[in-house]
């Protein structure tokens, strides 16, 4: 029995690391020369955590997200998801890009079903899930329409449904609401918060909106100029669920000001 170890309570209940980023760096090798885009980054994201990343334009935010998603190879270091080194896009990840990148020849529903087909998952159960997500996103009457028949906001909501259809544990989002008007964006923020609260997914969100980052995240990672690295990490201790009024809370105002101060001297955010 000596080999049986009793796990101390504190350790048993400690949050598990979901995404481990270790000395991760990227230099794009182009014909015009090397483009250093990310200096070594170290970051642990725990299961169920919501992390937002802000930083100046071109500092390597999208590069970071693509590395975590296994879409491009790292120059140095690695990303582990659930303890396994990421080489290709993992099944348990959903991605939302800045532009919705829907396939124009597929209906809304068939666009949402794409990850299910790619992963060869059960069609019937996921079809029901796709329909439920679309109706949650206010798109139930548009399932059989084509992307060009939708507004930009509706297309982006379709892309979000597509990222969630296979119920991934991790959702990576690269400025998903950048193209939306302010009202739609606020609604999407509330919706995203609800999804995070109800499903406990681990979310990594890149955004150029500091208030959006503070409103949604457990931690806000601030990146420095290209080649970017982590300049600071802010913990957001505001209680959840948060409503839009929280933006007037002294802690909220203080945090957004502190984060903004990183960029005062050097121009604006992406
Ligand atoms: N495929 C690529 N080849 C060469 N350089 C790239 C490539 N993708 C991005 N870069 C460069 O890497 C830097 C970081 O880009 P990116 O990660 O898109 O920044 P951000 O998302 O923060 O705006 C930029 O200078 C960009 O021009
Ligand atoms: Mg980008």
| Residue ranges, the chain, pLDDT below 70 | 1-14, 265-270
Place of tokens 């029995």: 1
pLDDT score, position 1:
45
* Mutate-to-test residue for ligand 1 from 35, 172, 225, 230, highest number of ligand atoms within 8 A of CB: 35
Q: How far is the CA of 174 from the centre of ligand 2 (A)?
A: 7
**Residues near ligand 1 with C-beta < 6 Å?**
28, 30, 35, 37, 55, 57-63, 226, 270
pLDDT value at residue 9? 52
25-76 pLDDT, tens digit per residue, is 999 999 999 999 999 999 999 999 999 999 999 999 999 999 999 999 999 9
In order of their start, the domains of the chain are: 38-92+169-264 (3.40.50.300), 102-167 (no CATH)
How far is the centre of ligand 2, averaged over its atoms, from the C-alpha of 96 (Å)?
Answer: 12
Output the DSSP codes for 134-170.
Answer: HHHTT-GGGTTS-GGGS-HHHHHHHHHHHHHTT--SE
Residue in 88, 112, 55, 72 with CA at minimum distance from that of residue 234: 55
The answer for residues whose C-beta is within 8 angstroms of residue 123's C-beta and 6 or more apart is 113, 116
pLDDT of residue 266: 60
Which pLDDT value is given to residue 3?
54
| Dist CA 246 CA 49 (whole Å) | 20
Q: What is the pLDDT of residue 116?
A: 95
In degrees rounded to 5, what are phi and psi of residue 251? -65, -40
The answer for residues whose C-beta is within 8 angstroms of residue 137's C-beta and 6 or more apart is 157, 158, 160, 161, 191
Given this model, what pLDDT does residue 15 score?
Answer: 75
Give me ligand 2 centre to Cα 197, in Å: 26
pLDDT at 185: 87
Nearest ligand, CA 224? 1
Helix (H) or strand (E) holding 51: strand 50-54
Q: How far is the CA of 36 from the centre of ligand 1 (A)?
A: 9
Mutate to test the pocket of ligand 1, among 25, 27, 37, 268 (most ligand atoms within 8 A of CB): 37
Percent composition of the chain: helix, strand, coil (DSSP 3-state, to 5): 35, 25, 35
Q: What is the pLDDT of residue 99?
A: 85
């Amino acid at each position: 029995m000596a080999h049986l170890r009793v796990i101390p309570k504190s350790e048993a209940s400690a949050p598990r690391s979901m995404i481990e980023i270790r000395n991760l760096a990227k230099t794009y090798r182009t014909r015009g020369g090397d483009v250093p885009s990310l200096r070594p980054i170290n970051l642990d994201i725990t299961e169920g955590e919501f992390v937002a990343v802000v930083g100046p334009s071109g500092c390597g935010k999208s590069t970071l997200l693509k590395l975590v998603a296994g879409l491009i190879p790292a120059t140095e270091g690695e990303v582990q998801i659930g303890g396994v080194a990421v080489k290709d896009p993992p099944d348990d990840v959903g991605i939302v890009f800045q532009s919705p990148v829907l396939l124009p020849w597929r209906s809304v529903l068939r666009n949402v079903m794409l990850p299910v087909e790619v992963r060869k998952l059960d069609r019937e159960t996921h079809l029901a899930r796709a329909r439920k997500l679309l109706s949650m996103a206010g798109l139930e009457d548009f399932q059989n329409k084509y992307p060009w028949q939708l507004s930009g906001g509706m297309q982006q909501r379709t892309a979000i449904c597509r990222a969630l259809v296979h119920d991934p544990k991790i959702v990576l989002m690269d400025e998903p609401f950048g193209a939306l008007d302010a009202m739609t964006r606020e609604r999407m923020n509330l919706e995203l918060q609800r999804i995070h609260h109800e499903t406990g997914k681990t979310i990594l969100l890149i955004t150029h909106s500091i208030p959006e980052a503070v409103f949604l995240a457990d931690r806000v990672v601030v990146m420095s100029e290209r080649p970017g690295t982590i300049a600071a990490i802010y913990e957001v201790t505001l209680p959840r669920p948060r409503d839009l009024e929280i933006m007037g809370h002294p802690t909220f105002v203080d945090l957004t000001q502190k984060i903004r101060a990183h960029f005062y001297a050097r121009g604006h955010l992406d």
